[in-house]
Structure 1
Amino acid sequence: MFTGLVEDLGTVVAVDRNDGGAVLTVESRLAPQIGEGDSVAVNGVCLTATGIDGTRFGFDVMLESLRRSSLGEIDAGSKVNLELALRADARLGGHIMQGHVDGVGTVAALRDEGFSRIVTIDADGELLRYVVEKGSIAVDGVSLTVSRVDETSFDVSLIPETLERTNLGATTVGRTINLEVDVVAKYVEKLVGGARA
């Protein structure tokens, strides 16, 4: 489980793709806190750490994760949002996240408003049905509040701290971005019988 509070902005130092998936090697100051087999959210995708060596560690990324997230497009040099799994004695500062990306969206527009930056993200209607104004959403693993939503897109507002500490500060129009909707909304839908086949 994660909270969407990014702990470090890591750098992908290698991507080794093969028929079975890919191996990502990431460099981060978090490496000394990670053990073999630990769960780490990488741009919101829960992955298992392997091959820890100094400030570097790896992840085996299966084909399913490559297909359903933006990790399939990642290259060496990319900056990635990293979060260690939530400890039972820690504060829940963001919102409950599983690291199970529901799908991807596309950055459609960026505009500054005061000290914040408004990011408009286009997304599929199958995801947007779970998105509500003032509700929570994970964008590349960052817990954010939805400030506007319609049938094709939604807005989030980024404060200077988020712009500085995450890869969203350098995002550009057209970029593919990972989305995880609020899991509570999906459970409520299923319990009231509204789940779609």
Structure 2
Amino acid sequence: MDEFPPSPNDDQDTGPVYDRPSKSQVKRDMLALLDLGKDLIDLSPERLRQLPLEEKLYEAIRLAQRTTSREGRRRQTHYVGKLMRKAPAEEIRTQLDVWANGSREATASLHRTERLRDRLLTDDDALTTLLEQYPGADVQHLRSLIRAARKEAATNAALTEGSQPQRKHYRALFQALRALEPDNTSSSDTVEDEKEEA
């Protein structure tokens, strides 16, 4: 039996070719943009201005932020989601991620410093451990800050109810510890100062 010569199209898939995403994928993408729009509505105006947003989208977000009625806000949020289709979503997501992770890292760093300060006030060996980690630290300065902060804490413990405790040396020790880490900024110290005064 003679074989038919192979057709030039035999090796190719003759089924229909879809070069567009499925309806399900389109819906998922639209919902992702809506969620991103909701994240933007939660941002401060200062942060919004740092993002690559067209004026129309920026104004729509600001209007959503000012809208107080539930239904009105829902409609405005969906409108923001619609405008997000033309926005550089990946660039915006990247910046939001930087802000979120940077904030988490800064908070974790503050908590580590607070725990270290508290150990230094109660444990004499904590200074030895600290100096092993930061051999270039000013030992005399740290010792004097620890002594002053301990004395301050003892004085505060003896205060009568309603008296204002002193935290000058407590904060000074915190700032000295923050200064040991080169990546820390003065803004972190300001946050700590505000917490201590609260």
TM-score between the two structures when normalised by the length of structure 2? 0.18
TM-score between the two structures when normalised by the length of structure 1? 0.18
More strand by share: 1
Question: Could you say which structure has the greater relative contact order, defined with CA pairs below 8 angstroms and 6 or more residues apart?
Answer: 1
